[in-house]
Structure 1
Amino acid sequence: MLWLAGLMGIMVLGSVAVVTTGLPEDDIDLPDDPAQDEDLGTMPLPDPVSDPNDFELPSIFRAQSANAPTGMKLLGTGDSDTLGGELGTDLINGMGGDDFLSGDGGDDQIWGGAGDDIVMGGDQNDTLHGESGGDAIAGGAGQDDLYGHDGDDTLTGDDGDDALYGGLGADILNGGAGADALLGREGDDTLIGGTGHDTLQGGAGNDALIGFDDDETDYLNGADGDDLLIAGLGDVLSGGDGSDTFLLGDWLRTDAAALTDFSPQDDRMVVVYDDLDMPSAPEVSIGPSTDDPDTVEIRLNGDVVGTVPAKDAPMLHDIIVMAESEANMLNVV
């Protein structure tokens, strides 16, 4: 599925080691809440649901501590700073400038401040804020909470069950390994679940939500806007409001995706096939499910790649069939 990597346009943030000397003795004040008018905070991960119509992103709340009992307290300047924590629980604020900020061990809290910052967590459960600017934020191991706030940000959860919040701007959220929860919020965002049972919600804007082609079920909810939802094996897809595009493919033949709210009047369905293995266009068919009379199956050469409620079933002429060689070049949103 190399074509899909090109379609996603993923930005990867590599690992970088940061070494600092000197231990500041003065306490620093926590920054003013940069999102006091926003509904932000940690996002509990949902349990899988038996009825796909029941799934939605959990309510979220803000929780942060003003104490760093065992680690470092580092305050940057208006220039470009490099600040690195230690094994304890660190508080780091980059302030102005394009900063490079990193935690280590411990449950760290890091704020990028103004500027285009790189913010990296460590081995434990970190809370990382990009704030203003186009920031790159990576969680590392542990259960991390990542907030982009303003600007076009890139958030990468890496290992662990992470929660990623985009904020304003056109953000890229990549959950990585683990059972992650991703919320794009405002802007035209790209959400990539990665491996594990992930929950993706686009929020406002025209978003791209991408399941992963492993065997873990992801829940994709486009919410507002005209969204693109790319299904992985066994994923559950809900477009929400707007005119959405649902992309299915031959990689789903072993575990079909479930579409919960397809509208033939407003939405589009695209079925992609591997034209290296299938030189000619395959047969796409629609038929009732043998397991559920209220469900219709979308079949590719007889294999089920998607299911739709019977009341929302498309006609054959509603389905766009596309070769993988075309998918990279065509804007299907």
Structure 2
Amino acid sequence: MKIQQNKPRVVVIGGGTGLSVLLRGLKHEPIDITAIVTVADDGGSSGRLRSELHMPPPGDIRNVLVSLADTEPLLESLLQHRFVNGNGLAGHSIGNLLIAALTEISGDFVGAIEQLSHVLAVRGRVLPAANHSIVLHAEMEDGTIVSGESIIPKSGKRIKRVFIDRENVHGLQEAIDALKQADAILIGPGSLYTSILPNLLVPGIVEAIRESKAVKAYISNVMTQPGETDRYQAEDHIQAIHDHVGNSLFQHVIVNNGTVTDEVRAMYAAKGSEPVAYSEQNLMAKGYHIIADNLLIYDGFLRHDAVKLSQIIMELIGAKA
């Protein structure tokens, strides 16, 4: 009789749309997924709930839950629906309000996420990086300090570094355990300074990544982010991670070598964004194994091809096994 092997344990760290796109592809693979999500968001509906209810911001968590959920399109639309009218309701999404309600009922944010995960038949586990909300600060190149995740990219200044108030902030134990036990750890894609680094700055997270025996990869963004990574190449993203938390966090770098059409490039250039280029020579000189492929898909927005990216990741996991 053939003995069934345990599913490979894959931990993904990030936030925002990039993480959600990746997870939509990975959830169809025969793996055990844990998504570790930032709790630094302080804008929009999340920021209001964070401030008024003294709870961690639910927005990035909601997006990840929806991307991993095995639900009907109507339910997904319902969870993502944002009220346009209503005194106090305008701007809030139903998914955020559900997480807030479950947190109030159970008295526990992590428990609320777990309960909603069961309702949505989520394929995997979703965990906040920290035990509660964190405040993100940025020191700009001119020496000024800007506070607030939602404000930093709008400052009009180049970011030198980001940091958090570490007092009473600890990495969630479940997240740390998942990293230590992982077979693969994926960092990115996502906003470098406001999604990825806030996770890595939480005490205990980087230490757990280093301790893990997993195969570790950084997934480069396909486009730069205005106000955050203007004119950055892939190696600039990686250098920023090194500068904040040190070297040797991952062995592999996954980059896009597909070409953006002139029409799409012009559309993004008008918003201050451009394709993230990379230097194979520079990355190899730093000791990284480069995995380059045409990872672009355009559906009104440029995104990673989730199916192709998932195939690359499964090959990495297979190579480790």
**Shared fold per TM-score greater than 0.5:** no
Larger radius of gyration, structure 1 or 2?
1
Comparing both structures, which one devotes a greater share of its residues to helix? 2
Larger strand share, 1 or 2 = 1
TM-score, length-normalised on structure 1?
A: 0.29
TM-score (norm 2): 0.30
